[in-house]
Amino acid sequence: MSMVKPSLAALFFLLVGVFMVQPVIAQDSPEAATDTTQPAVTADSLSDQQETDTVGSGAGTMYPMSPERRAKLISYSRFVNIWRFVGFFVTLGLMALILFTGFSARMRDWAGVVKKKFLVVWLFLVLFLIVDYLLNFPFHFYRGFIVENQYGFLNQSFGEWFAEDMLSLLVTAIVGVVPLWFLYWVIARSRKWWLWASVAAMPFAVFMIVIAPVVIAPLFNKYEPLKDKTLEAEILTLAEKAGIKGSDVFQVDASKQSSKINAYVTGLFATKRIVLYDTMIDNFESDEILFVMGHEMGHYLMHHIWKGLALAIILITLALWITSRTISPVIDRFKHRFKFDRLEDIASLPLIIIFVTILSFLMEPISNGVSRYMERQSDKFAMDISRVSAESAEIAFDKLSVFNLSDPDPHPVIEFWFYSHPALSKRINFVRNYKPSGT
């Protein structure tokens, strides 16, 4: 699935009100934080023409890692780390461009042709999404299509990739209008708008987590019960052992977008589910998949979605409070350039995105640190419940590194700041030395 651009990610962060700590087994990638069309890590990838690495015909075609694949992993990891910063500054630069040219105010004036406030907000959002997409397209096309295709991950033609981009924009325009309208409604009515916006983020985030698996995600992929009934029976037996009743396990045709491997838990209440990428089913052995499923069950039983959501709301509250205390002087200083002088003016949206982008970047070590702790808890639970050998767990992690070109041993600063999961080398070392409880 094609990734959503950095500024759209910041916008969606603002609209949905979530710094989501997504409990997934796969290793970190920049797409994980930017895809608004699926409630978990995206699979985007790359291969050069001279190498015959393929996914879907068995792990033997790529695993164990060849020297050529190792060189590709180093190259890709270096690029990803650089792009983390490139994407950040591109977002700030494009939002500043829209502001200082007065174009945001011009879009506000265009949206003002309609009379009802809600429709003004919606029309402005649509115009903003279009302008943002056009300005961002060269960077997005290079990162999301050229690079992913070059390294052999992308399984889409340009037309398919672009069509999903348009669908993602449509989803954002539909989902985003209500929280955006509420944000500006409360800004205009209360000096404590940051508090009321944060409080409102909770039910909206829960609503999104509930409906995303059954309404949004199926727009992009086909979700169906596991076709391998033997594997399904093993997973359900494991779930019963863990004390999980009525759990649903789905497989998704993620290979239509990318060759990357992943699994995740998502949803709440009746929509909770564990999802396996078809690429994992094709390339992992049964014990390796059971370890992954044990990990995901650990997330569910330890209520990591709820804990992640609680952390998200706390960070959102802090970010919006800081914004409320610091944004007015900026508006006063540049009001003649911006062509608006009040925060409640819808034209201030790019400025709010700048503040949110900077604050979310600075808060990443907090959310990622908590996430890494929860991932370690789930790895421990998986070893206890699945009873697979340490070797099978090691191989599962090693395959994630090989297939996804995930750096198993990133620089400590990169891991501290950007990784929502412990480095794969640390996870491998943990399962290698861990003694399951009761042994």
Secondary structure string (H, E, C) spanning the chain: CCCCCHHHHHHHHHHHCCCCCCCECCCCCHHHHCCCCCCCCCCCCECCCCCCCCCCCCHHHCCCCCHHHHHHHHHHHHHHHHHHHHHHHHHHHHHHHHHHCCHHHHHHHHHCCCCCHHHHHHHHHHHHHHHHHHHHHHHHHHHHHHHHHHEECECCCHHHHHHHHHHHHHHHHHHHHHHHHHHHHHHCCCCCHHHHHHHHHHHHHHHHHHHHHHHHHHHCCCEEECCCHHHHHHHHHHHHHHCCCCCCEEEECHHHCECCCCEEEECCHHHCEEEEEHHHHHHCCHHHHHHHHHHHHHHHHCCHHHHHHHHHHHHHHHHHHHHHHHHHHHHHHHHHHHCCCCCCCHHHHHHHHHHHHHHHHHHHHHHHHHHHHHHHHHHHHHHHHHCCCHHHHHHHHHHHHHHHCCCCCCCHHHHHHHCCCCCHHHHHHHHHHCCCCCC
Work out the average pLDDT over 100-111: 98
The rounded mean pLDDT for the chain is 86
pLDDT at 42: 30
**Rounded Cα–Cα distance for residues 211 and 162 (Å):** 24
CA 322 from centre of chain: 24
Residues 6+ apart with CB under 8 A from 229: none
Neighbours of 177 (CB within 10 A): 19
Count Cβ atoms within 10 A of the Cβ of residue 7 and give its class: 0-12 exposed, 13-18 middle, 19 or more buried: buried
pLDDT at 336: 97
Q: Comparing 11-20, 120-129, 309-318, 333-342, which segment has the lowest mean pLDDT?
A: 11-20
Q: Which tens digit of pLDDT belongs to each residue from 295-304?
A: 999 998 999 9
pLDDT at 207 over 90: no
pLDDT at 386 over 90: yes
Work out the average pLDDT over 103-113: 97
Phi first, then psi: what are they for 223, rounded to 5°?
-110, 130
Work out the average pLDDT over 282-311: 93
Task: Please give the model's pTM, rounded to 2 decimal places.
Answer: 0.87
pLDDT at 202: 87
Work out the average pLDDT over 321-350: 97
pLDDT range class, residue 157, cuts 50, 70, 90: very high
- Report the percentage of the chain scoring pLDDT > 70: 85
pLDDT at 270 over 90: no
- Report the percentage of the chain scoring pLDDT > 90: 72
B/e letters for 250-280, b = 16+ CB within 10 Å, e = fewer, are bbbebbbbbbbbbbbbbbbeeebbbbbbbbb
The answer to whether 244 and 253 are in contact (CB under 8 A) is no
pLDDT at 28: 57
Residues 6+ apart with CB under 8 A from 147: 46, 79
Q: Which tens digit of pLDDT belongs to each residue from 10-33?
A: 444 454 443 333 334 445 543 433
Q: Which tens digit of pLDDT belongs to each residue from 29-71?
A: 434 333 333 333 332 332 333 333 444 434 446 888 899 999 9
pLDDT range class, residue 212, cuts 50, 70, 90: confident
Q: Comparing 120-134, 283-297, 301-315, which segment has the lowest mean pLDDT?
A: 301-315
pLDDT at 23: 33
pLDDT at 27: 52
pLDDT at 439: 59
B/e letters for 11-34, b = 16+ CB within 10 Å, e = fewer, are bbbbbbbbbbbbbbbbbbbbbbbb
pLDDT at 272: 81
Q: How far is CA 90 from CA 12, 79, 127, 139, 231, in A?
A: 17, 16, 19, 8, 45
The two structure tokens encoding residue 3: 């990734």
The two structure tokens encoding residue 9: 């990610």
pLDDT at 73 over 90: yes
Work out the average pLDDT over 112-127: 95
pLDDT at 61: 64
**Rounded Cα–Cα distance for residues 18 and 5 (Å):** 17
Work out the average pLDDT over 80-84: 96
**Rounded Cα–Cα distance for residues 383 and 195 (Å):** 41
Neighbours of 169 (CB within 10 A): 20
If one compares 246 and 342, the residue with the highest pLDDT of the two is 342
pLDDT at 197: 93
Work out the average pLDDT over 213-241: 92
pLDDT at 305 over 50: yes
pLDDT at 340: 98
pLDDT range class, residue 9, cuts 50, 70, 90: very low
Neighbours of 306 (CB within 10 A): 12
Residues 6+ apart with CB under 8 A from 325: none
**Rounded Cα–Cα distance for residues 68 and 164 (Å):** 32
**Rounded Cα–Cα distance for residues 183 and 181 (Å):** 5
pLDDT range class, residue 2, cuts 50, 70, 90: very low
If one compares 32 and 394, the residue with the highest pLDDT of the two is 394
